[in-house]
Each structure stands twice: as structure tokens, then as C-alpha cells.
């Protein structure tokens, strides 16, 4: 996995794991939150040493694509508190999918098993990702808004 990090020029991500932006359109559009690029994409890698992408949400839809390694598991919470799971991976018989989209405003956490070496995916965001549209979950927020899910999700909340 160190070779992948070096080869793809990945750096540590605030959510956990590693990333690098791979594309950003030249075109921009005006949103109610300001100007955003039309679309951008990243590589995202979880490793045995950094196996959790902690709960966060973005304002816009994010489509995820599986590339290499172990399956990447997702825990999802809608703004209304509906809980669901998804797994990116190559084994359709195990209900893994090669891609899926998380709607804007949904909370998500990703993880791989501590026994797995790594999982490499890509993410595409439209309108393009901007940290102004990004929020990291806090324990206080989840306790207040999602108390019935807190016990099972607390290890996936960084703060």
C-alpha cells in the first residue's frame, strides 16, 4: 500500500485515509453557496493503519467507484435519520457494487476490516467539492439528532 500512496501521490485526508484530486473541470457554475467547479474527482484510499473514513457529509451528491483491494463498507444516515449500509467491491454475489451515489446532505462513514491491507476507490462530486460544503460529524451532533443510532456508530465519529 505504501507503493500505491507513493505512485498515486496521495496525502493524508482529514476524514481518515489518503486522497488526491485527480480532475477538476475548468467550467464553473454559480450555486446558492457561491461559485463551484462543475465537477471534480479524487482517489481515496483506506489502509490497515487508517481503516476508517469518519462520518462527514457534503452538500452535493458523491458517486463512488471501486478500483482495487478489499471491499469498502459504508454506513449512511439520511438527514431524517434513516440508517443504511452499502459495500463497494467486486463480488456481486456478496451484494457488493462497483459504484453507488450518496445524496448530498447524507452522513457517511467508510471503513475496511482491520485485517485488510487497503481499498482504493474514486469519488466524483457535482457540483465540485469545496471544503465550504463539507462537515465532519461531532459526537454532540449525533447524540442530539440521531440518538437511537449513536451507540452503534460512535466509533465512526472522530470528534
Domains of the chain: 2-156 (2.60.120.10)
Average pLDDT of the residues of the chain: 96
Is residue 81 very low, low, confident or very high in pLDDT (cuts 50, 70, 90)?
very high
Q: Which of 65, 143, 157 is nearest to 107 (CA)?
A: 157
Mean pLDDT of 120-147: 95
> Tens digit of pLDDT for each residue in 64-74?
999 999 999 99
The predicted structure's pLDDT at residue 1: 78
Please give the helix or strand (H or E) that residue 143 lies within, else none: helix 139-145
The predicted structure's pLDDT at residue 136: 95
Mean pLDDT of 38-59: 96
Contacts of 95 (CB under 8 A, 6+ apart): 87
Mean pLDDT of 92-114: 96
Amino acid at each position: 500500500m505504501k507503493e500505491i500512496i507513493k505512485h498515486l501521490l496521495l496525502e493524508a485526508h482529514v476524514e481518515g485515509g489518503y486522497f488526491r484530486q485527480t480532475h477538476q473541470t475548468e467550467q464553473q457554475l454559480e450555486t446558492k453557496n457561491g461559485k463551484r467547479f462543475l465537477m471534480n474527482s479524487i482517489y481515496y484510499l483506506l489502509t490497515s493503519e487508517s481503516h476508517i473514513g469518519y462520518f462527514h457529509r457534503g452538500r452535493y451528491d458523491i458517486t463512488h467507484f471501486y478500483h482495487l483491494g478489499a471491499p469498502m463498507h459504508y454506513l449512511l444516515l439520511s438527514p431524517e435519520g434513516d440508517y443504511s449500509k452499502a459495500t463497494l467491491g467486486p463480488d456481486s454475489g456478496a451484494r457488493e457494487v462497483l459504484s453507488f451515489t450518496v445524496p448530498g446532505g447524507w452522513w457517511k462513514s467508510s471503513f475496511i476490516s482491520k485485517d485488510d491491507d487497503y481499498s482504493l476507490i474514486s469519488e466524483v462530486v457535482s457540483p465540485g467539492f469545496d471544503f465550504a460544503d463539507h462537515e465532519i460529524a461531532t459526537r454532540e451532533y449525533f447524540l442530539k439528532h440521531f440518538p437511537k443510532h449513536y451507540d452503534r456508530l460512535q466509533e465512526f465519529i472522530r470528534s
